[in-house]
Amino acid sequence: MAAEALVEAGKPASPAIRQLEGALNKIGLTRAHKQIILLILIGCLFDSFEQNTIGVAGPALRAQWGLTGADIGFLNTITFGSAALGRLLSGIIGDRYGRRVMLATNLLLFTIGSAACAVAPNFTALCFARAVVGFGVGGEISTAVTMLAEFCSPRFRGTAAGLVNVAAGGFGNFLAPAFGLLIFTLFPGENGWRWLFAALALPALLVTFYRRLVPETPRFLVAQNRIAEANQVLSRLASGSLARTDVPVQNFLTVADTAEPPPKSAWRDLFRMPYLGRTVAVAIAILMSYGAQLSVLTLMPSIFVSMGYTYSGSLLYAMIIQSGSVLGAIAASCFGYYFPRKRVLTFGSVLACVAALSIIYLGVNIYLVLLFGAVFQFFVLLLNTSIWIYAPELYPTRIRAFGVAFILATGSAAGSFIPTISGALFDHYGMVGVFALAAGMYAVFALCIQLGPETYGKSMEDVNRSVEDDLSPTPQTEGKPATA
């Protein structure tokens, strides 16, 4: 069924939201939308480069400072741990003060942290700098997903949110080693790693400057009863240009501002029924998926070495397998336009499980391992990206930023312990143990995802309307504004 039909079938939570949905569908996808998407995706691409930097610069750091493998691992632990905290705090602040505030703040933290890494005099200073980087990177991604979902109409929001992981998880992870190789070629010597961090700071600073053009999302403004400002943003979107400040304001929303104060951002509602059920189910699902992905990415070079290949050859084979990630992220972004979320997530997790088992039972030579490995990575990024599309649609506007942040932070937390379990299985059972665990985790994923609601093509407020009514002490009338 077309997305527009699904929207019309529902009953929006308030007159203002009903008008907003109609305005977004009428405006469609304009050049202004594309400018917003581009500016956000550039930042996400360099965020992904930054998350891979320690792995790329690790050998140089070990040679110059005499670091151990545990020291390099600790730098990644700091980065991802700080990213999880950054996502949570960014979600709380974003729901209270706006998405745009956190978008600029997170990218500025990322820039400062990268510059601090470039001039770090010792390992301790580098650890503190990585914490700053992680905090900015974590908040950046979750804020980007939320914003793109809220800027677009129901028909296109899945594709827009999915593009974040095309830039980050797809092209970002795939191109990060090549980006590092380019910098080391341009700046050879023992301080090449410093130039790598510096190169990551400069583009982010430019994006920070250009992001002054990105407005607050109209959904957040309507949720705050700031109707006049929402009309200004909608008019800029309709004009097709973010740079124009003299755009005539059209009254897309004619509902007057209510005297009633806007709903507060009650982030604790995320952990109360009935939101608790969907939060726990989807958080477990993304923990399974992220854990399986990070385990395979971490151990694939070691798996190839155990098969008798050289270290350089193992890295090449790992990159070949990683090529499936790019295609998976792109496919998820396209599927977000055409197919229901739960259908994609269910079939994707089942096929990821089958791909993992195929590596175990059918990977009798290097060619089949590469083939099934690339297929496995395709479905891994298909699922991760689809969850990024799904997460913003699970919550009302007042707690959406924190809901998305919590789910993505759970995924980041998986990187702190699942690879350790996979490593132990690899030591005892080899490649079979690693992919058997991955297959089991995707089976759990498929079960968990059945507990969430279907959201495809619906107003994000419609999905939560019955939930909000359950939380209200008395029924709301047609004319009384509901929580957006």
DSSP 33-48: HHHHHHHHHHHHHHHH
Q: Which residue has the higher pLDDT, 132 or 262?
A: 132
Q: What is the pLDDT of residue 5?
A: 37
Please, what is the end-to-end C-alpha distance for the chain in angstroms?
25
Q: What is the pLDDT of residue 346?
A: 92
Contacts of 308 (CB under 8 A, 6+ apart): none
In angstroms, how far apart are the furthest CA atoms of the chain? 72
Q: Looking at the predicted structure, is the pLDDT value of residue 180 above 70?
A: yes
pLDDT digits over 220-258, tens only? 888 888 888 888 888 888 888 877 767 788 888 876 544
Place of tokens 């939201």: 17
Q: What is the pLDDT of residue 475?
A: 40
Mean pLDDT (whole number) for 354-381? 85
As given in the structure block, the two tokens for residue 79 are 């980065």
How many other CB atoms are there within 10 angstroms of residue 427's CB atom? 10
Q: What is the pLDDT of residue 447?
A: 92
Measured CA to CA, the distance from residue 229 to residue 136 in angstroms comes to 28
pLDDT digits over 277-305, tens only? 888 888 888 888 887 877 776 666 667 76
Mean pLDDT (whole number) for 109-132? 88
Q: What is the mean pLDDT of the chain?
A: 76
How many other CB atoms are there within 10 angstroms of residue 8's CB atom? 14
Mean pLDDT (whole number) for 330-359? 87
Q: What is the pLDDT of residue 188?
A: 80
Q: Looking at the predicted structure, is the pLDDT value of residue 464 above 50?
A: yes
As given in the structure block, the two tokens for residue 267 are 């982030």
